[in-house]
């Protein structure tokens, strides 16, 4: 089954090959596709929830601690300002990045599923190939 090029160096594991049927690799591709579809769905929900939070309480009012109504000097205090809650903005950016990451992986595994459904016989996989389809 597994074929290793004999060498005492641990680095040689990248040269190992394993032969699996296209059907078995297809099972792995389907599992990875389902995993990334679920993760994409989860991150889309998180993104929408964050958008709602941003719309409802994502603004921070920045006011001077000095009540300008009673200020005696024109340069005392500062005018009020509005800022976006940075934590929510970071959450939104993270969710957007994760949605895109899993969307890209869904596309990749959809292509692999299509290819492997057409494949017949055995395929030779490297360690990297195996981990791509079956790794945790």
pLDDT digits (tens, 9 = 90+) for 54-81: 888 888 777 776 655 655 555 556 777 8
User: How many residues make up the chain in this entry?
Assistant: 136
All residues at 6 or more sequence positions from 114 whose CB lies less than 8 Å from its CB, including other chains: none
Helices (H), the chain: 22-57, 86-118, 127-134
Summarize pLDDT for 49-59 with one digit per residue, the tens.
999 998 888 88
All residues at 6 or more sequence positions from 62 whose CB lies less than 8 Å from its CB, including other chains: 80, 81, 82, 83
Enumerate the domain spans of the chain.
10-134
Q: Give phi and psi for 22, each to the nearest 5.
A: -60, -35
Q: What is the mean pLDDT of the chain?
A: 85
Residue 131's pLDDT band, with cuts at 50, 70 and 90, is very high
Residues 81-104 have a mean pLDDT of 92
| 2, pLDDT greater than 50 | no
């Amino acid at each position: 089954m597994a074929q290793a090029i004999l060498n005492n160096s641990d680095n040689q594991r990248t040269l190992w090959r394993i032969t699996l049927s296209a059907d078995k690799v297809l099972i792995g591709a389907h599992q990875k596709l389902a995993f990334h579809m679920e993760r994409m769905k989860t991150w889309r929900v998180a993104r929408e929830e964050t958008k709602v939070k941003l719309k409802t309480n994502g603004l921070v009012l920045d006011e001077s601690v000095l009540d300008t109504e009673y200020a005696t000097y024109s340069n005392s205090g500062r005018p009020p300002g509005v800022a976006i809650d940075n934590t929510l903005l970071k959450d939104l950016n993270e969710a957007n990045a994760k949605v895109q990451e899993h969307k890209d992986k869904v596309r990749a595994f959809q292509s692999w599923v299509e290819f492997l459904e057409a494949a017949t016989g055995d395929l030779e996989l490297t360690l990297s190939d195996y981990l791509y389809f079956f790794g945790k």
